A and B are shown apart, each in its own frame.
Chain A
C-alpha cells in the first residue's frame, strides 16, 4: 500500500472502531448491540494486524469475536426469555450526575492524552532481550516463548482463571437444554459435516504452528471450541457416561499438566517453571496439546452455562414438545 492509502487506513480504522463501540453502547436494541460488538471485535483484530501483532489478532478474532459473541448471544436469549424483551431506553440522567460523570471522563481523557507526551522513548523495549534468549526457550516464535517459557507464570495463572470461571459457572446453575427445540436443518448438518474436520485440522495446525509462527494453544483451543459449538447447535450432547468424572478430569487436565511441568524445575534443583534443557520443546508441546483440549472444553462449558446434572446428557437434550420462543 502506498503511504497515502495507509494513512487513510490508519485514520479510518480507529474512527470506525470508535463509531462501532459507540453504537454498540447506545443502540436501543440489545441484539443489535451484541452484533455491533462482534463486528467491533473483528475490526479490532484488523487493527492488531496493522500494529504487527498477528498472535493477538488471531486470539481476538477467535476468542474476542467468536467465543465472546456466542456467549453474549446465548446469554441474551436466556436473559430475554426470563426478564422479557424490552428495548433499553437511552440513558436518562439527573443533571448533577451528568455534570459529575462528564467532568470526570473529560478530565481523565485530557490527563491520559497529555500523559502520552511523557512516554519515554525506549529503544527496542524487551524485544532484544527476548531475541537473545530465544534459543534457550525451546521454540522459535518469540510470543510463544514469552507465553510458555519466559513468563510461564502468567499463562499458568491464566489457565487457572479459566478453570475458576468454569467452576463458578457450574456453581451458579444446572445446564438447561441448549436449544429450545431440535434444529432440523439440512444446511446446518451439511455445513457441520464439512466444517468439523476442517476445524479439527486447522486447530491442530495452529497449535503446531505456535512453536515457530503466530498461533498456539489458545487460538487452537478456540477453533476446537468453535467446532464443539457447531456440534451443539446441531443438537449434539456429551453422552451420559462422559458427563461425570471423565468430563471433569478433562477440564482440569491442562491446568494440572502445566502445573506438573512447572514443578519439574524445583524437583531438579531449578526455579519453578524452569524446564530441564533439551526437554523444553517436548514439554512445551505436550503442555500445549493438553491445554488446548482443556481450554476448548472450558470455553464450550462456559457457553452451555451450567453443570451437568446426575448421569444425563450434557447439555440435556431439548424436548420436542418444548415451545421455542423464537420460531
Chain B
C-alpha cells in the first residue's frame, strides 16, 4: 500500500514539474519534453493506483496506459513536425512574442 502511495506522489510531482517546464520555457522542443513528462506523471499515478489492490494488479489501467503511451508518441511526432516546420519557416525555435525574453 505505502509503495503505491510513494509512486502516486512521485507521479503528481512529475506532472507539476512538467507543467512548470511547459509554462517557463519558450523553446518549442523544451515544451514538448515538458508535456511528455506531464504525461508520464499521469501514467505513474494511474499505474500506482492500479497496483493498490491486493493480489494481481488491475489489467484495465495497464491497457489504458499502453494506449496512452502510443497516443503520446503520436502527439509528440506531430508536435515535433510542427516545431521543425516553424523553425524552417521563421528561423526561430519559439513562438512569436517571446523574442524579448529569449534573446
B33 nearest in chain A by CB position: A37
B-side interface mostly: helix
Interface size class of B (residues with CB under 8 A): 35 or more
Identify which of A26, A72, A84, A146 contacts B59 (C-beta below 8 A): A146
Identify which of A11, A79, A91, A105 contacts B83 (C-beta below 8 A): A79
Contact with A along B67-103 (1 / 0, CB 8 A): 1011111111110111111011011110000000110
Which of A56, A59, A155 counts the most chain B CB atoms within 10 A?
A56
Cα A75 to Cα B77 with chains together (Å): 9
Given the known interface contacts A21-B17, A37-B33, A305-B81, the answer about A68 and B5 at a Cβ–Cβ threshold of 8 Å is no
Q: Which residues of B contact A51 (CB under 8 A)?
A: 4, 7, 47-48, 50-51, 57
Contact status A21-B14, CB under 8 Å: yes
Which of A30, A145, A306 counts the most chain B CB atoms within 10 A?
A30
For the complex, is A122 an interface residue (Cβ under 8 Å from B)?
yes
Cα A305 to Cα B63 with chains together (Å): 28
For the complex, is A290 an interface residue (Cβ under 8 Å from B)?
no
Given the known interface contacts A25-B20, A78-B84, A105-B19, the answer about A119 and B49 at a Cβ–Cβ threshold of 8 Å is yes
Contact with B along A294-305 (1 / 0, CB 8 A): 010001001101
Min CB–CB distance A295 → chain B (angstroms): 8
Q: Which residues of B contact A21 (CB under 8 A)?
A: 14, 17-18, 37, 40
For the complex, is A109 an interface residue (Cβ under 8 Å from B)?
yes
Q: Which residues of B contact A71 (CB under 8 A)?
A: 73, 76-77, 80
Contact with B along A50-74 (1 / 0, CB 8 A): 0111011001100110011001100
Report how many residues on chain A are interfacial, defined by Cβ distance under 8 Å. Answer: 87
For the complex, is A201 an interface residue (Cβ under 8 Å from B)?
no
Given the known interface contacts A21-B18, A126-B58, the answer about A155 and B81 at a Cβ–Cβ threshold of 8 Å is no
Cα A39 to Cα B27 with chains together (Å): 21
Contact status B13-A109, CB under 8 Å: yes
Identify which of B14, B50, B76, B77 contacts A53 (C-beta below 8 A): B50
